Amino acid sequence: MDERLAQDFLPLRTADGSLTLRSELLGEQYHSVHGAVQESTHVFIKAGLEHIGKPQVDVLEVGLGTGLNLLLTWVRCLEGKCLVRYTALEPHPVSLGLLVELDHCADLAWPGLHDPFLERMTENRDGWWEPMGGLAFRQLAIPVQDFHERDAFDLVYFDAFGPGTQQEMWTLEVFQRMHAALRPGGVLVTYCAKGQVRRNLQAAGFVVERLPGPPGKREMLRATR
Protein backbone atom coordinates (compact mmCIF):
# COMPACT_ATOMS: atom_id res chain seq x y z
CA MET A 1 0.00 0.00 0.00
CA ASP A 2 1.50 3.36 -0.99
CA GLU A 3 2.08 6.25 1.39
CA ARG A 4 -0.79 8.32 -0.01
CA LEU A 5 -3.29 5.57 0.82
CA ALA A 6 -1.75 4.99 4.25
CA GLN A 7 -2.25 8.68 5.09
CA ASP A 8 -5.91 8.48 4.04
CA PHE A 9 -6.87 6.22 6.96
CA LEU A 10 -8.75 8.07 9.71
CA PRO A 11 -10.46 6.91 12.92
CA LEU A 12 -14.07 5.73 12.60
CA ARG A 13 -16.40 4.81 15.46
CA THR A 14 -18.02 1.39 14.86
CA ALA A 15 -21.40 0.12 16.02
CA ASP A 16 -20.12 -1.42 19.27
CA GLY A 17 -18.51 1.87 20.27
CA SER A 18 -14.92 0.85 19.49
CA LEU A 19 -12.77 2.61 16.90
CA THR A 20 -11.22 1.42 13.67
CA LEU A 21 -9.44 3.14 10.76
CA ARG A 22 -11.16 3.79 7.42
CA SER A 23 -9.83 4.91 4.04
CA GLU A 24 -12.24 6.82 1.82
CA LEU A 25 -9.94 6.31 -1.17
CA LEU A 26 -10.10 2.54 -0.81
CA GLY A 27 -13.58 2.32 0.66
CA GLU A 28 -11.95 -0.04 3.18
CA GLN A 29 -11.48 -0.20 6.95
CA TYR A 30 -9.38 -2.32 9.29
CA HIS A 31 -12.42 -3.79 11.06
CA SER A 32 -16.14 -4.24 10.57
CA VAL A 33 -18.24 -1.09 10.88
CA HIS A 34 -20.71 -3.31 12.80
CA GLY A 35 -18.21 -3.50 15.67
CA ALA A 36 -14.42 -3.68 15.67
CA VAL A 37 -14.04 -5.41 19.04
CA GLN A 38 -17.03 -7.69 18.40
CA GLU A 39 -15.60 -8.83 15.06
CA SER A 40 -12.08 -9.48 16.33
CA THR A 41 -13.37 -11.31 19.41
CA HIS A 42 -15.73 -13.49 17.38
CA VAL A 43 -13.32 -14.42 14.57
CA PHE A 44 -9.91 -14.57 16.18
CA ILE A 45 -10.48 -15.18 19.89
CA LYS A 46 -13.64 -17.31 20.04
CA ALA A 47 -13.17 -19.28 16.79
CA GLY A 48 -9.37 -19.32 17.04
CA LEU A 49 -7.63 -18.97 20.40
CA GLU A 50 -10.42 -20.47 22.50
CA HIS A 51 -11.02 -23.23 19.95
CA ILE A 52 -7.34 -24.26 20.17
CA GLY A 53 -7.74 -24.51 23.94
CA LYS A 54 -4.06 -25.09 24.72
CA PRO A 55 -2.33 -23.61 27.78
CA GLN A 56 0.59 -22.42 25.60
CA VAL A 57 -0.07 -21.17 22.06
CA ASP A 58 2.20 -19.94 19.28
CA VAL A 59 0.24 -17.37 17.25
CA LEU A 60 1.11 -15.91 13.85
CA GLU A 61 -0.85 -12.84 12.78
CA VAL A 62 -0.85 -11.83 9.13
CA GLY A 63 -1.79 -8.16 9.16
CA LEU A 64 -1.12 -6.68 12.62
CA GLY A 65 -2.88 -3.46 11.62
CA THR A 66 -4.09 -1.49 14.63
CA GLY A 67 -3.07 -4.25 17.06
CA LEU A 68 -6.59 -5.04 18.26
CA ASN A 69 -6.16 -8.82 17.88
CA LEU A 70 -2.88 -8.59 19.78
CA LEU A 71 -4.55 -6.71 22.64
CA LEU A 72 -7.50 -9.09 22.86
CA THR A 73 -5.06 -12.01 23.02
CA TRP A 74 -2.95 -10.23 25.64
CA VAL A 75 -6.02 -9.69 27.82
CA ARG A 76 -6.73 -13.45 27.74
CA CYS A 77 -3.15 -14.04 28.89
CA LEU A 78 -3.50 -11.52 31.71
CA GLU A 79 -6.69 -13.27 32.76
CA GLY A 80 -4.64 -16.45 33.18
CA LYS A 81 -6.30 -18.35 30.34
CA CYS A 82 -3.12 -19.11 28.35
CA LEU A 83 0.48 -18.20 27.58
CA VAL A 84 1.16 -16.93 24.07
CA ARG A 85 4.18 -16.36 21.85
CA TYR A 86 2.89 -13.89 19.28
CA THR A 87 4.53 -13.21 15.92
CA ALA A 88 3.02 -10.44 13.78
CA LEU A 89 3.75 -9.69 10.12
CA GLU A 90 3.19 -6.03 9.22
CA PRO A 91 5.18 -4.35 6.43
CA HIS A 92 3.05 -1.16 6.74
CA PRO A 93 2.79 -0.29 10.47
CA VAL A 94 0.14 2.11 11.72
CA SER A 95 1.62 5.39 12.97
CA LEU A 96 1.96 6.21 16.65
CA GLY A 97 -0.38 9.18 16.25
CA LEU A 98 -3.21 7.05 14.88
CA LEU A 99 -2.69 4.37 17.53
CA VAL A 100 -2.99 7.03 20.23
CA GLU A 101 -6.20 8.34 18.62
CA LEU A 102 -7.70 4.85 18.47
CA ASP A 103 -6.83 4.13 22.12
CA HIS A 104 -7.84 0.47 21.93
CA CYS A 105 -6.70 -0.08 25.53
CA ALA A 106 -9.39 2.33 26.74
CA ASP A 107 -12.03 0.54 24.64
CA LEU A 108 -11.04 -2.74 26.31
CA ALA A 109 -10.87 -1.15 29.80
CA TRP A 110 -7.18 -2.07 30.17
CA PRO A 111 -5.51 1.37 30.44
CA GLY A 112 -2.46 -0.22 32.07
CA LEU A 113 -1.55 -1.80 28.74
CA HIS A 114 -1.48 1.54 26.91
CA ASP A 115 2.25 2.27 27.17
CA PRO A 116 3.63 -1.28 26.70
CA PHE A 117 1.23 -1.79 23.79
CA LEU A 118 2.37 1.38 22.02
CA GLU A 119 6.01 0.47 22.60
CA ARG A 120 5.57 -2.93 20.99
CA MET A 121 3.57 -1.53 18.10
CA THR A 122 5.98 1.26 17.18
CA GLU A 123 9.52 0.42 18.31
CA ASN A 124 11.77 -1.21 15.71
CA ARG A 125 13.54 -4.07 17.38
CA ASP A 126 15.09 -7.33 16.25
CA GLY A 127 13.83 -10.43 17.99
CA TRP A 128 11.43 -10.87 20.87
CA TRP A 129 10.19 -8.52 23.54
CA GLU A 130 10.50 -9.97 27.00
CA PRO A 131 7.29 -11.75 28.05
CA MET A 132 4.85 -9.52 29.94
CA GLY A 133 1.56 -10.66 31.41
CA GLY A 134 1.88 -14.07 29.79
CA LEU A 135 2.57 -12.79 26.27
CA ALA A 136 5.86 -12.68 24.36
CA PHE A 137 5.82 -10.59 21.16
CA ARG A 138 7.79 -9.89 18.02
CA GLN A 139 6.86 -7.86 14.96
CA LEU A 140 8.39 -8.59 11.55
CA ALA A 141 8.22 -5.88 8.88
CA ILE A 142 8.08 -8.37 6.04
CA PRO A 143 5.31 -9.42 3.64
CA VAL A 144 3.78 -12.85 4.10
CA GLN A 145 5.24 -13.85 0.73
CA ASP A 146 8.73 -13.65 2.32
CA PHE A 147 7.86 -15.66 5.44
CA HIS A 148 9.44 -19.11 5.52
CA GLU A 149 9.04 -20.59 9.01
CA ARG A 150 7.73 -24.16 9.12
CA ASP A 151 5.90 -26.24 11.76
CA ALA A 152 6.18 -23.32 14.20
CA PHE A 153 2.64 -22.18 15.02
CA ASP A 154 -0.59 -23.49 16.51
CA LEU A 155 -2.79 -20.68 15.22
CA VAL A 156 -2.83 -18.15 12.37
CA TYR A 157 -4.88 -14.97 12.59
CA PHE A 158 -5.28 -14.17 8.89
CA ASP A 159 -6.41 -10.54 8.97
CA ALA A 160 -5.26 -8.92 5.74
CA PHE A 161 -7.49 -6.45 3.87
CA GLY A 162 -10.06 -8.23 1.74
CA PRO A 163 -9.34 -9.76 -1.69
CA GLY A 164 -10.85 -6.73 -3.42
CA THR A 165 -8.13 -4.53 -1.91
CA GLN A 166 -5.18 -6.94 -1.45
CA GLN A 167 -5.75 -9.78 -3.88
CA GLU A 168 -2.11 -10.86 -3.56
CA MET A 169 -2.68 -11.81 0.09
CA TRP A 170 -5.30 -14.49 -0.62
CA THR A 171 -3.51 -16.69 -3.16
CA LEU A 172 -2.86 -20.41 -3.15
CA GLU A 173 0.87 -19.74 -2.70
CA VAL A 174 0.24 -17.66 0.45
CA PHE A 175 -2.00 -20.32 1.95
CA GLN A 176 0.59 -23.00 1.15
CA ARG A 177 3.03 -20.94 3.24
CA MET A 178 0.49 -20.77 6.06
CA HIS A 179 -0.09 -24.53 5.88
CA ALA A 180 3.66 -25.09 6.16
CA ALA A 181 3.99 -22.59 9.03
CA LEU A 182 1.38 -24.42 11.14
CA ARG A 183 2.01 -27.56 13.13
CA PRO A 184 -0.15 -30.60 12.36
CA GLY A 185 -3.60 -29.87 13.81
CA GLY A 186 -2.95 -26.13 13.70
CA VAL A 187 -5.71 -23.71 12.73
CA LEU A 188 -6.08 -20.63 10.52
CA VAL A 189 -9.04 -18.31 11.10
CA THR A 190 -10.19 -15.43 8.92
CA TYR A 191 -13.22 -13.16 8.61
CA CYS A 192 -13.29 -13.70 4.83
CA ALA A 193 -15.61 -16.43 3.51
CA LYS A 194 -15.40 -15.84 -0.25
CA GLY A 195 -15.63 -18.99 -2.36
CA GLN A 196 -12.24 -18.53 -4.03
CA VAL A 197 -10.55 -18.05 -0.67
CA ARG A 198 -12.13 -21.27 0.60
CA ARG A 199 -11.04 -23.13 -2.53
CA ASN A 200 -7.47 -21.81 -2.25
CA LEU A 201 -7.31 -22.94 1.38
CA GLN A 202 -8.53 -26.40 0.40
CA ALA A 203 -6.05 -26.60 -2.48
CA ALA A 204 -3.26 -25.73 -0.01
CA GLY A 205 -4.19 -28.83 2.04
CA PHE A 206 -6.49 -27.38 4.70
CA VAL A 207 -9.76 -28.87 5.92
CA VAL A 208 -12.07 -25.84 5.81
CA GLU A 209 -15.18 -25.09 7.88
CA ARG A 210 -17.70 -22.33 7.31
CA LEU A 211 -18.74 -20.87 10.64
CA PRO A 212 -21.33 -18.22 11.54
CA GLY A 213 -19.78 -14.80 11.06
CA PRO A 214 -19.63 -11.82 13.42
CA PRO A 215 -22.40 -9.18 13.47
CA GLY A 216 -23.10 -7.96 9.94
CA LYS A 217 -21.46 -10.97 8.26
CA ARG A 218 -23.10 -14.31 7.49
CA GLU A 219 -20.01 -16.55 7.52
CA MET A 220 -16.30 -16.79 8.36
CA LEU A 221 -13.75 -19.54 7.71
CA ARG A 222 -11.70 -21.80 9.96
CA ALA A 223 -9.10 -24.01 8.27
CA THR A 224 -7.25 -26.87 9.97
CA ARG A 225 -3.98 -28.45 8.88
Task: Name every residue whose Cβ is closer than 8 Å to that of residue 71 and which is 6 or more positions away in sequence.
Answer: 104, 105, 108, 110, 113, 117
3-class DSSP state of 194:
coil
pLDDT (tens digit per residue) in 96-150: 999 999 999 999 999 999 999 999 999 988 899 999 999 999 999 999 999 999 9
pLDDT at 25: 75
Q: How high is the pLDDT of residue 7?
A: 67
| pLDDT at residue 5 greater than cutoff 70 | no
Indicate whether 95 pLDDT > 50: yes
Q: Return the CATH number of the domain spanning residue range 34-224.
A: 3.40.50.150
pLDDT at 189: 98
Query: What sections of the chain are H helices per DSSP?
Result: 3-8, 36-40, 50-52, 68-78, 96-102, 104-107, 114-122, 172-181, 195-203
Mean pLDDT for the chain overall: 93
Tell me the domain boundaries of the chain: 34-224
* CA atoms of 180 and 31, how far apart (whole Å): 27
Which has more pLDDT, 32 or 114?
114
Q: pLDDT tens digits for 153-162?
A: 999 999 999 9
Q: Higher model confidence: residue 51 or residue 215?
A: 51
* Per-residue pLDDT tens over the stretch 191-219: 999 999 999 999 999 999 999 999 889 99
CA distances from 178 to 74, 111, 120 (A): 22, 33, 24
Q: What average pLDDT does the segment 57-67 reach? A: 96
Cα separation, 75 vs 224, whole angstroms: 25
pLDDT for the residue numbered 9: 87
Pick from 4-8, 60-64, 104-108: least confident: 4-8
